[in-house]
């Protein structure tokens, strides 16, 4: 867990450095995007995941789902 926090700090620091090299208009755009961003709660994420469960269940064009997925992964 500590390692992850350290990595997040490193990534954040790197992003902050890169932001300094953006033009003023690019920085303003980024700021506007971040301000308008909506936070999705963990409950909403779970609902979205549950809604997506089984979306391929009744597909007629997929005979063997394991073979199909293995082909996609190739």
Distance CA 66, CA 72 (A): 10
CA 16 to chain centroid = 20
Phi, psi of 28 (to 5 degrees): -65, -45
20-74 pLDDT, tens digit each: 999 999 999 888 888 887 776 767 778 877 877 777 677 778 777 788 888 888 8
**pLDDT at residue 55, as a whole number:** 73
Q: Where are the domains of the chain?
A: 2-73
The span from the CA of 68 to the CA of 74, in Å, is 10
Please report the pLDDT score of residue 17 as a whole number: 92
pLDDT computed for residue 70 by the predictor = 86
Place of tokens 């190739």: 74
* Terminal Cα distance for the chain, rounded: 33
């Amino acid at each position: 867990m500590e390692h992850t926090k350290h990595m997040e700090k490193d990534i954040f620091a790197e992003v902050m450095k890169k932001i300094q090299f953006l033009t003023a208009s690019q920085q303003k755009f980024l700021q506007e995007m971040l301000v308008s961003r909506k936070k999705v709660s963990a409950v909403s994420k779970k609902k979205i995941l549950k809604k997506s469960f089984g979306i391929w269940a009744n597909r007629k064009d997929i005979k063997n789902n394991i073979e199909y997925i293995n082909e996609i992964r190739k």
